Amino acid sequence: MTLSQRSDAAADLSSLLFSPSFAENPYAAYARMRAGPPICPSPFGGWFVTRYEDVRAGLRDHRLRSVDLIAGVKRKHAALLESKSATAGATLEDLVWNVSSWLAFLEGPDHARLKSTITGNLKKKHVEALRPYIRQYTVELLRKALSQPRVDFVHDFAHKFPGHVIARLLGLPTQDVARFERWMKAVLPVFNPLLPISAYREANTASVEVLAYMRSHIAERRGNPREDLLSELLGMPDGDAGFSDEEAASTCLSLFSAGVETSSAVLGTGLLALLRNPEQKALLLGDLALIPAAVEELLRYEPPIQFTSRIATESFDWHGVRIAAGQTLHLHIAAANHDPSKFPRADALDIRRDPNLHLTFGGGHHFCVGAPLARVMAQIALEVLFTTVPRVRLSGEQPAFARNPIFRELTSLPLSF
């Protein structure tokens, strides 16, 4: 493919991804992408990979590594120190150590060490123990939402639910969830390489604050470990070497950030999918034992992270395309999840789909550590919702999707009962 052809293909794809109809239904655009070359130019730079087997292989390919966000922040830090702002004491040091411990951007021994500590007993020891609290909080939050004259599921439930559960998992006060949300909103924009330096400074300020907040909790756990994930991160109570204070603090922020945003999105888009497919909702109401399978199908059908990006660590050929070292490959999870060569009737919602080997949680060594908790939260939320208000339906107001080609979420979901 010539440079001119590559530019034209990227422009055509850009018109698809940013068209007015894309936010409501991106899957027609993904079908067009899959029908084209296996690897196609991306309007975000680099290449899109859209077919299931290729995306699955890319997630496991040792020649690809996660985007080096850490190096990007360090470059911003160095540039700031060289600027006139450095004389005023401006620095991004705290932001650097914060993102330096984010699991999604680590590779090699550091990634293996941190991930093994987080995932070791997460499902059996912590997530299963949380089930009673998740159910209790779901009932309370739903009751409060139903007491209002107008219910917007996104604002009244989905945005509030995951944060409290994750705080409970970590062993942090649930009344401090709003503070974590504020820190999260300040730090998450650093994923955007075009961010102005002022936003990096705000992210650094949030990093300073979260470390100061966490120090007291970390000191308390080191002297008096509890049955929570924070104690386990610190190496308690079995005496094994655990995280440093900085690693524990930034890991808590990153787990909170990733878990809240994705789980909130899944709850909203998942419920909408069921309400727009009344035969599937009726099937679920008739047999609540289908809830685990239904959650897997909703994860496949509407993955919150539409694509994940990897950097080539060496040059290689793939499907006749020369991938140069340093180039970005965007592995399109949502397009792969709707690939009809892997999923019969891929664009149809089928809560009895089996097998359902979706890629929503990624793959390889970067498989999502929060997958067990995300599944349990969605399962309990659906069960409580449909047993409490089985006649839930869409109101006359139109649900609203965020216009974001990377992250799939609703901004509003008005309901009637």
The predicted structure's pLDDT at residue 397: 92
* Distance (Å, whole) CA 207 – CA 417: 42
The predicted structure's pLDDT at residue 236: 52
Domain count for the chain, please give it.
1
Residue 399, classed as helix, strand or coil, is coil
List pLDDT tens digits, range 124-146: 678 989 999 999 999 999 999 99
The predicted model scores a pTM of 0.92
Tell me which residue has tokens 């705000």. Answer: 202
The predicted structure's pLDDT at residue 17: 77
Residue 100, classed as helix, strand or coil, is coil
Strands 393-394 and 414-416: antiparallel
Q: 10 Å Cβ neighbour count for 275?
A: 17
* One-character DSSP codes across 284-318: HHH-GGGHHHHHHHHHHHS-SB--EEEEESS-EEE
Residues with Cβ within 8 Å of 57's Cβ and at least 6 positions away in sequence, in order, are none
Residues with Cβ within 8 Å of 273's Cβ and at least 6 positions away in sequence, in order, are 280, 298, 301, 302, 349
* Distance (Å, whole) CA 331 – CA 328: 9
Sheet harboring 151-152: ordered strands across?
A: 151-152, 414-416, 393-394
Bond preceding residue 399 cis, omega within 30 of 0: no
* Distance (Å, whole) CA 167 – CA 165: 5
Nearest CA to 258 out of 105, 129, 156 is that of 105
In the chain, what is the straight-line distance between the N-terminal and C-terminal CA atoms, in Å?
54
DSSP state of 49: E
* Distance (Å, whole) CA 337 – CA 50: 9
Burial class (CB in 10 A: 0-12, 13-18, 19+), 398: exposed
The predicted structure's pLDDT at residue 376: 96
List pLDDT tens digits, range 347-404: 999 999 999 999 999 999 999 999 999 999 999 999 999 999 999 999 989 999 998 8
The predicted structure's pLDDT at residue 238: 46
The amino acid occupying position 89 is G
The predicted structure's pLDDT at residue 239: 44
* One-character DSSP codes across 119-151: HSSIIIIIIHHHHHHHHHHHHHHHHHHHTSSSE
What CATH number should be reported for the domain holding residue 166? 1.10.630.10
**417 residues of the chain, pLDDT tens digit each:** 554 455 555 556 767 777 778 999 999 999 999 999 999 999 888 999 999 999 999 999 999 999 887 788 888 878 777 775 554 556 888 888 888 888 888 898 888 888 888 886 576 678 989 999 999 999 999 999 999 999 999 999 999 999 999 999 999 999 999 999 999 889 888 877 667 888 888 989 998 998 899 999 999 999 999 989 999 888 754 445 678 888 888 888 888 888 999 999 999 999 999 999 999 999 999 999 999 999 999 999 999 999 999 999 999 999 999 999 999 999 999 999 999 999 999 999 999 999 999 999 999 999 999 999 999 999 999 999 999 999 999 998 999 999 889 999 999 999 999
Whether residue 392 contacts residue 386, with contact meaning beta carbons closer than 8 Å, is answered with: yes
Q: Return the structure tokens found at 76.
A: 């911003």
Range of the domain at 97: 3-416
The predicted structure's pLDDT at residue 237: 45
